[in-house]
Amino acid sequence: MSELFKRSFQLFKLTIRRDRIRASIWIFALAFFTLIIPGSFQNLYPDQQDRDAMAVTMENPAMVAMVGEGDLDNYTIGAMSAHQMVLITAVFVGIMSILLFVRHTRTDEEEGRVELIRALPVGRLATLHATTMYVVFVNVVLAVLVAIGLMVQPIESLGIEGALLYGATLGGTGICFTAVTALFTQLSDSSRGATGWSIGLLLFFYVLRAIGDIGSEALSLFSPLGWTTKTMIFTENHWWPIFLMLAFSFVVLLLAYRLNAKRDLEAGLFPSKPGKARASNNLLSPFGLAFRLQRTAFISWAVGMLLLGISYGSVLGDLDSFFQGNEMVEKILVQEEGYSIAEQFISIIMTVMGMIATIPALISMNKLYGEEKKSRLELLYAKPVSRKTMMGSYLLVAVINAFVSVILAGIGLWAAGSTVMDDPVSFGTMIGASLAYIPAMFVMIGLSALLIGLKPNVVSLTWVYLVYSFIIVYMGNLFQLDEWFSNVTPFGHVSQLPVDEFEVVPFFGLIGVAIVLVVAGLTFYSKRDIQG
């Protein structure tokens, strides 16, 4: 038996050595994200009155579906932080565990590294065991850091037991998904498949819990993410979900180990189905190819934007009670006469969603350079395919992405908003507010096209520019910055409907700028050397 595990510990050390930076970044980012929350809630909601108002908002079924149940009658800073943050953080801990696990098992197996290891006097289960130890270790370190970090904060409601439980909940959820991934890496025969199945199951558990939390309680108990929300950290401090998590992980891991000991290297237990022998007609053009390569991402972003719209929309009904007298919010929302807080909120939310919707559009455009770096364009350019056709195809995909993302966000916002608001905003207004962002998004796409044509190695500057735009436009009022700062970003010229009047000149001005950028991009791109 011990033969199977031989030299696991050496491999464990090797794994840590390989991932010391990657794992540190994950741990640091997740811990940081968790630990800044109580302090900022302290600033945002200094009085119990504010927090109780927030608690009322959180009774909304949409919020329960999103963040899970909490102890709303006893909504201290601690209870509030845990209620609003622990589930979403746990989801990211789960994703971290999945990615780290697949990286050291299936990916290594695909790349032939496991074969190299297995040829040495190393146990058959050593790779799996070392990876399990490693990902569990990462989760434990995260749990300890979070627990200590919460304990040392000078906030009364953050008790020691709650702090320990918070860490244990995050770590425990991570270990559950470590086990789930261990199982899927045996079942699927590719790293993509294993990652896809694991993340798919994570989403399934999330939705199962959401349905359970708003309706049939029992369903939540069948989801590890349901257990996550049942801990009631900083109020009742339930430990039983943690034991349930560990028991679940142990059983699933046992099954994974058994399967691993039996299966052949590079084999999976799911049958891998053959792909298409012939291409469908949709694929057979530069545009068809560009779209096909991004199809999954396109659909995921579309769904994501719709959900984002819906989740913002679902809070529109309670805004007035929620924001009244909150200083921070008042600074961001400069009171405009004649508009309700909800309408002002919509303007701000559209700004945020407009910029988030720019992300998939930019990814689409920048992919043209990504393809070049991977030397996949050389074969295409050896055919009678012009540079302009190729760049044009990626431009078109990016533009479609921009439209779909921003409109779906608007539709989601409208659909959820109109069910919870007493005086809903009309569909036309909401779509208008979304479309107002299109020219600014075109400018971002155009900028990417220009850089790809002129100096492709700095094309990632488009991201820096987007982040800059976000900070300036979103937080501009807060920092009381000079107008100059927002004039240099396209998003600074967008009419923030429905509060602002629609202005024609900047709208078409931005489109004009975008056209100039695209034409310049096409021209330069046709003239330069292609790397591969």
Partner 1 sequence: MEKVVDIKRVTKKFGDFKALDEVDFSVRKGEVFGFIGPNGAGKSTTIRILLGILKATEGQATIFGKDVWNDSMEIHRQIAYVPGDVNLWPNLTGGEVIDLFAKLRGGRQTKRREELLERYKLDPTKKCRTYSKGNRQKVALVSALLSEADLYIFDEPTSGLDPLMEQTFQEDVRNLRQEGKSVLLSSHILSEVEKLCDRVGIIRDGTIIEQGSLEELRHLTRHHVLLETTSSLDGLRDVEGVHDVNQDGNTYRFQVNAEQMDQVIKFASQYPIQKFESAPPTLEDLFMRHYEGTDEVVE
- The footprint of partner 1 (CB under 8 A) covers 190, 192, 274-279, 283-286, 289, 292-293, 374-376, 378-386, 527-530, 532
Closest to partner 1 by CB, 68 vs 286, is 286
User: Least Å distance between CB 281 and partner 1?
Assistant: 9
User: 433: how many CB neighbours lie within 10 A of its CB?
Assistant: 30
Closest to partner 1 by CB, 286 vs 417, is 286
User: 470: how many CB neighbours lie within 10 A of its CB?
Assistant: 18
Closest to partner 1 by CB, 397 vs 443, is 397
> Helix, strand, coil: what percent of the chain each, to 5?
75, 0, 25
Closest to partner 1 by CB, 7 vs 292, is 292
User: Least Å distance between CB 393 and partner 1?
Assistant: 12
Answer for the pair 160, 79: CB distance below 8 angstroms, yes or no: no
Answer for the pair 372, 532: CB distance below 8 angstroms, yes or no: yes
CA-wise closest residue to 473 among 316, 350, 361, 337 = 350
Distance separating alpha carbons of residues 198 and 178, to the nearest angstrom: 9
DSSP string, 327-355: HHHHHHS---TT--HHHHHHHHHHHHHHH
Closest to partner 1 by CB, 330 vs 378, is 378
Closest to partner 1 by CB, 13 vs 192, is 192
With tokens 């937080």, the residue in question is 475
Answer for the pair 412, 352: CB distance below 8 angstroms, yes or no: no
User: Least Å distance between CB 82 and partner 1?
Assistant: 40
Task: Give Cα 503 to chain centroid, integer Å.
Answer: 33
Token pair for 60:
């909304």
User: Least Å distance between CB 452 and partner 1?
Assistant: 15
With tokens 């929309």, the residue in question is 313
Closest to partner 1 by CB, 247 vs 299, is 299
User: Least Å distance between CB 111 and partner 1?
Assistant: 12
Give how far Cα 470 sits from Cα of 1, 349, 359, 523, Å: 57, 12, 12, 30
User: Least Å distance between CB 130 and partner 1?
Assistant: 26
User: Least Å distance between CB 530 and partner 1?
Assistant: 5
